[in-house]
Structure 1
Amino acid sequence: MTLDGSTPYLRDAALSFRDVYQWLEAAYKISGAPQCHLLRPSTAVAFPHIPTPALLSPVYTHAIFKVARYLTMGPAPAEFEEKYRTSHEPSSYHTAENRLPRWAEPREPPRIKWLDGHRIRVMLLSLFLLVGLSTFARDHHSDRVADEAWINSEYEIALDLFQKNIHPPGTSPGTVVASDSKHSPNYWYHWVRDAAIVMDKTLVTLYESPETSTADKDKYENLLKEYVGHEYVIQHTQNPSGNYGYNGQGGGLGEPKFNVDDTAFTDNWGRPQNDGPALRAMTLVRFARAYLSRYSYSTAAISYITELYDSKYPTESVIKADLEYIGHRFDQWYNFDLWEEVTNSLHYFTLQVQRCALIEGALLADVLGDSGAADWYNAISSNITTTLDRFWDPNRGIIRSHEQEIRKSNLDISTLLGILHGSGKVHYQLSQPDSDRIFSTLNKLNASFAHEYALNSGRRYPAIGRYPEDLYYNGNPWFLATLAYAELLYRSLLYWGSTGSVTVTSVSIDFFQAYKPISAEIICGVWKDAESRLGIVQEFATDGIMAEQFDRNTGEQLSATNLTWNYGEYLRTYWARKDASAFADQCN
């Protein structure tokens, strides 16, 4: 489907209320009848030019002519119908199957006038049933979109608050606390996963941006170097998951969190968590690439980066240790998911980020002359690609969050996060934002959460939580989940804009039907969807501050305050929106 709608993908069963009027208008145009405009209460709506009705199947187009007979004071223009019949007459033209069903028989409806004086009788119930009542009902609601001024001011707030959680007072250099909350709940810890996501997707992004000033680049570089030193220390810290061991294989690299003074957290916890080493490797590989670029691959720059990746076996370097850990443990069943709740299964999010880390790591290994390791990392990543394919459930049309049937729905925002954080600098297979499987999963997530929370009543674009069966704090929408949904939509718009097309398949059609008609207007539909998710964040982020969750009924903020991941995700979403906005100019 081209963005200008010149060759739209049309399905007979995907027509909306507006579509029927467009086809009828085209019929009048082609037949030479006067231009028609639909008059709604106090508003005259002139529909734009559309492609010829011949793009529809013959049987269905003839059904539209029959509808026209019932909708108007007389039949559809005879010349047009005759012109159509001579070139597109179906073999079953006179069969009973082509008659309108009993529910479409004419009844006395309310009246609507055309501006040119022609009157039209509209049988609302019949028409809604013909074209899909559910679609029209979803289209009528106008969700609040975020204010442009708020979007920009929140960017500054998020930029400030996420940096305040990097090495705050009372912590070791390089520590990234998950939240400033120290009780009910206590998130005053350094989670390997959360820290890596924030440092990679925000700080490294700022560091490598050409728009960042030299002074700010220096500041971010110092923070990243402190983070490198911190991660080396905790890699070698004995903990309940194990120790560093030979070549980093002692199990300790899978420890999920540490105290803010770099000592081990020894209470009972869901451990190991194998997404942490992968996300950390991705962060440091990306930093290494940006660092080498900034200093033009100078001898001094290469010398520093070889401390991060030493090409030795066994290794003592922070990046290679993580890559070796991934390579030896990617198929380990006993590891917890990113929500620290599910074990004894492979997890989609974990595998996606492991795969990305190995691909990115192989590129760095090649640059530094470690071609044997690069080949091994690429081989493992190919193995993971095959494994990821098993997570697709064609019967339910979803990418499962866990390979095993852990929950009834097996829906989880972690699959979306896996796509976002497992895509790297290029769009790897299964990670492309236009994958039909991804959009089918998004459609199911959206529908599930729309009915899950009272707060979503009446919203076409609902707030998003972790998974439908969530019981933590009674299960609520999360800021980072709602933002991540918006981010993926913005990145999809960017992808479609850069490629010039949108692919709609039988797998993804249910997602795209929400933005009917399927034409160039899909861009504006997806844009408004993403903007409305930002509107939810604006509605419930008090003075720009975001706790972990907001109440499913009242919207009151709950759980840990100032969640670092929230602010990092807001910055990612902001940047994705900025990049995609060029392809949505016509939507504003």
Structure 2
Amino acid sequence: MQRLPMGSAWMEAAGDVTRAQAYRAAAQEIRQRLDAHFDPDEGVYVCRFANAADRPSAAPARRLDMAVPLGVIHAARAEGPHSVLDPKALATLARLEEFFEKKYPINQERASDCAPAMGRYAHDSYCSGGAYYFSTFGAAQFYFRFAEAIGRGAMIPVSAGNRTLLADMLGEPRAALAAASVEPPFRERLFKAFLARGDMFMAMVRAHTPASGELSEQFDQTTGAQTSAKNLAWSYAAFVAAFASRRAARRLMAC
């Protein structure tokens, strides 16, 4: 969706007004469809619709799906709805973290400096059913992207959907974040907190990566042993993307 407005501007500059308008209209339609994926009762974006009426009533196993946070980071929107700064997107990732923390035995036994290993969705029956390297790296990248946005000076919206999450990250009472956006006294602390949270996901992967550095598709949710496709390109690509986002955020910290 990010590419459509860019394409629209490019076509307009090239004098093709018809295509520019078509690209803008397509982007607007996609935004509206994405908005419909939010379930106000659950407070999360759901991955799929189960009926033709386009309502957020996906099958229970797919209501929470790591595809949503992955879609957010891949879209690379700088801010606004469906970006990492979207309170609804952060709430969706937080709910996924809670789910996999309880579901996977390796998460209940993890070190204190590790975030939970992430899977795809409930009742995933493919091979070991997760955890997935690309999902766990994706969670790390989400937090690194958030930290980078803070470092670049983006407005951090505060709403009912993310006030508790942000307050917990800061170690502050909810009332301290009553404003519509995070105030300057909290920005540096929040930057460091999100960067540290991303590092915790990276630490979880490191704890379940063999000395060879090879990354399969999954590491077993009970034993941590590698399973599923060996040397999966997506796992390596997710590592590279997460590391690049971390480096971009840390450069801003040094400024």
* TM-score of the superposed pair, with normalisation by structure 1: 0.37
* Aligned counterpart, 1:374: 20
Which structure 1 residue ranges, 4+ long, deviate > 6 Å from structure 2?
none
Say whether 1:467 aligns with 2:136: no
Check the 8 A contact 1:392/1:399 in 2, yes or no: yes
What is the CA–CA distance in structure 2 between the aligned matches of 1:521 and 1:437, rounded to whole Å?
Answer: 22
1:514 is displaced (CA, Å) by: 3.4
* Aligned counterpart, 1:413: 66
Which runs of structure 2 are paired with 1:324-473 in the superposition (5 Å)?
A: 355-404=1-50, 405-408=57-60, 410-423=63-76, 427=78, 429-459=80-110, 461-473=115-127
The higher relative CO (CA closer than 8 Å, separation ≥ 6) is in: 2
Q: 1:512 to 1:458 in 2, by over 3 A?
A: farther
Give identity over the alignment, percent: 24
What is the CA–CA distance in structure 2 between the aligned matches of 1:501 and 1:366, rounded to whole Å?
Answer: 29
* Aligned counterpart, 1:527: 195
What is the CA–CA distance in structure 2 between the aligned matches of 1:561 and 1:363, rounded to whole Å?
Answer: 42
What is the CA–CA distance in structure 2 between the aligned matches of 1:452 and 1:514, rounded to whole Å?
Answer: 22
Deviation per CA, 1:547-574: give whole Å up to 9, x if none. 1111001111111111111111211111
- Listed as ranges, the gaps of 5+ residues in structure 1 are 1-354
Which runs of structure 2 are paired with 1:134-283 in the superposition (5 Å)?
A: none
* Aligned counterpart, 2:178: none
1:372 is displaced (CA, Å) by: 1.0
* Aligned counterpart, 1:567: 236
What is the CA–CA distance in structure 2 between the aligned matches of 1:488 and 1:532, rounded to whole Å?
Answer: 12
Q: 1:514 to 1:583 in 2, by over 3 A?
A: farther
3-state secondary structure, aligned to 1:561 = coil
1:368 is displaced (CA, Å) by: 3.8
What is the CA–CA distance in structure 2 between the aligned matches of 1:490 and 1:379, rounded to whole Å?
Answer: 31
What is the CA–CA distance in structure 1 between the aligned matches of 2:103 and 2:166, rounded to whole Å?
Answer: 22
1:523 is displaced (CA, Å) by: 2.9
Say whether 1:481 aligns with 2:132: no
- Listed as ranges, the gaps of 5+ residues in structure 2 are 51-56, 173-185
1:522 is displaced (CA, Å) by: 3.1
1:521 is displaced (CA, Å) by: 3.2
What is the CA–CA distance in structure 1 between the aligned matches of 2:128 and 2:135, rounded to whole Å?
Answer: 16
Say whether 1:547 aligns with 2:216: yes
Check the 8 A contact 1:390/1:403 in 2, yes or no: no
1:500 is displaced (CA, Å) by: 6.1
Q: 1:394 to 1:406 in 2, by over 3 A?
A: closer
1:544 is displaced (CA, Å) by: 1.5
1:583 is displaced (CA, Å) by: 4.8
3-state secondary structure, aligned to 2:134 = helix
What is the CA–CA distance in structure 1 between the aligned matches of 2:227 and 2:5, rounded to whole Å?
Answer: 38
Q: Which amino acid aligns with 2:64?
A: L
1:458 is displaced (CA, Å) by: 4.1
Q: Which amino acid aligns with 1:576?
A: S
Q: 1:421 to 1:505 in 2, by over 3 A?
A: same
What is the CA–CA distance in structure 2 between the aligned matches of 1:512 and 1:429, rounded to whole Å?
Answer: 17
Deviation per CA, 1:326-348: give whole Å up to 9, x if none. xxxxxxxxxxxxxxxxxxxxxxx
3-state secondary structure, aligned to 2:127 = helix
Q: 1:386 to 1:486 in 2, by over 3 A?
A: same
Check the 8 A contact 2:85/2:146 in 1, yes or no: yes
Q: 1:430 to 1:381 in 2, by over 3 A?
A: same
For these two proteins, the number of residue pairs brought into alignment is 229
Q: 1:363 to 1:566 in 2, by over 3 A?
A: farther
Say whether 1:578 aligns with 2:247: yes
* Aligned counterpart, 1:98: none
1:429 is displaced (CA, Å) by: 4.1
1:428 is displaced (CA, Å) by: 6.1
What is the CA–CA distance in structure 2 between the aligned matches of 1:573 and 1:430, rounded to whole Å?
Answer: 21
Check the 8 A contact 2:217/2:229 in 1, yes or no: yes
* Aligned counterpart, 1:74: none
Aligned-CA RMSD value: 2.0
What is the CA–CA distance in structure 1 between the aligned matches of 2:5 and 2:42, rounded to whole Å?
Answer: 30
Structure with max Cα Rg: 1
What is the CA–CA distance in structure 2 between the aligned matches of 1:516 and 1:556, rounded to whole Å?
Answer: 34
* TM-score of the superposed pair, with normalisation by structure 2: 0.82
Q: 1:566 to 1:376 in 2, by over 3 A?
A: same
